[in-house]
Amino acid sequence: MKVRVSSKGQIVLPAELRRKYGIEKGSELSVVEWAGSIHLVPVPEGDPLDLLHGMLADTGYTSEQFVAERRAERDRENRAGA
């Protein structure tokens, strides 16, 4: 999809994309420069930590597993740096 940049540096996001990503008047987007390109990323409303809550529900991955993996990773890094 192509858009044109106005003399004021503005672009119009196509309605199809605004609907798909729930972008409305007043919505925030992050502008991310990565690998020689520019990406517009919708910023979800609310506390970022609250948005992550339940993300791994029903995956079988527990917080205990996560903590154990991070500890093992820390131990490997400590041994490699010693």
At which residue do the structure tokens 């820390």 appear?
A: 74
**Is residue 15 scored above 70 in pLDDT?**
yes
Q: What are phi and psi of 62, to 5 degrees?
A: -100, 160
C-beta of residue 47 within 8 angstroms of C-beta of residue 34 = no
**Which tens digit of pLDDT belongs to each residue from 32-43?**
999 999 999 988
Q: How many CB atoms lie within 10 A of CB 3?
A: 11
**Which tens digit of pLDDT belongs to each residue from 63-74?**
889 899 999 999
> Which helix (H) or strand (E) covers residue 38, if one does?
strand 37-42
Length of the chain: 82
At which residue do the structure tokens 């672009």 appear?
A: 11
